[in-house]
Amino acid sequence: MNLHQPELASQWITLLAAGMLVIQLLMVVQGMLLTNIRLFALQSLMLAGIAAIIAFFHGAAHVYVVAGLTLVGKVFFLPWLLNRQVRKMQIEQEIAPLLNSSASMLLCGGFTLLGYIVARPFTSLDRLGNNTFGVAITLLLTGFFLMFNRRKAITQVLALLTVENGVMLAAVALTTYGMPLVVELGIFFDVMVAVMVLGLLVYRIRETFSSMDVSKLNELKG
């Protein structure tokens, strides 16, 4: 397999991006927290694969760094950390979302259509990965919807991470094969710190309310 052939590299990138979108939709309807964590790890693995193909095709060393950080941080470390939190608190099932699965999938279908409409002007760019911009927009929209629709703090952390995956995919699709390395590293470590802080917050919510339902925070109003 010669990834220096643009058509073959583009096909692999399109396949991996489509896989990321399918996994995002599965996370929207999936109620098991541990399964959602595994789905996020698989989505991140596909993102790392896209970055590695882009880096190999263009000889972009800084994109290799991003692919490696994604692999270590989002495929192994963060899923391990979140999995540990879920098992520690012994709450593995998501409570009823605000919208049921049918309504959620219908809305996400609309997000997918909107993402490709917005991305259409950019598909004419002569750049490897430009056809993934529609997927990136859809990941952003569905990630924000997932944060709104779910009430468990762990799921909202996962939603934040999928939004960041969408940002990184958009960076590959629109910029010169990734943002400057210092920007990418800044975003990556900001997300890592945010997840660890949110992990502590989740633990405190669980200890105070015996639940991870963030709506319980309304009870703190005086």
Region 38-60: what's the mean pLDDT?
A: 89
User: Residue 208: which residues within 8 A CB-CB, separation 6 or more?
Assistant: none
Per the prediction, the chain carries an average pLDDT of: 78
Q: What is the pLDDT of residue 202?
A: 62
At 60 the pLDDT is: 75
Considering 23-32, 87-96, 119-128, the range whose residues carry the highest mean pLDDT is 23-32
Map residue 125 onto helix, strand or coil: coil
Per-residue confidence (pLDDT) for residue 157, from 0 to 100: 81
pTM above threshold 0.75: yes
Across the chain, the runs of DSSP E, i.e. the strands, are none
Residue 8 C-alpha from the chain's centroid: 25
CA distances from 185 to 44, 72, 162, 180 (A): 16, 13, 17, 9
| 52 membership: H or E segment, kind and range | helix 33-58
Give the residue-averaged pLDDT of 47-73.
84
Summarised one tens digit per residue, pLDDT across range 164-222 is 898 888 877 665 555 555 556 656 666 666 666 666 566 555 555 555 555 555 555 54
pLDDT at 99: 84
CA distances 70 to 78, 169, 173, Å, are 10, 12, 17
| CA 54/CA 214 separation, integer angstroms | 39
Q: Which of 174, 206, 163 has its CA nearest to residue 74?
A: 163
Provide the residue count of the chain.
Answer: 222
* Structure-model confidence comparison of residues 62 and 36, the more confident one: 36
Residue 152: beta bridge partners? 213
Residue 17 pLDDT: 92
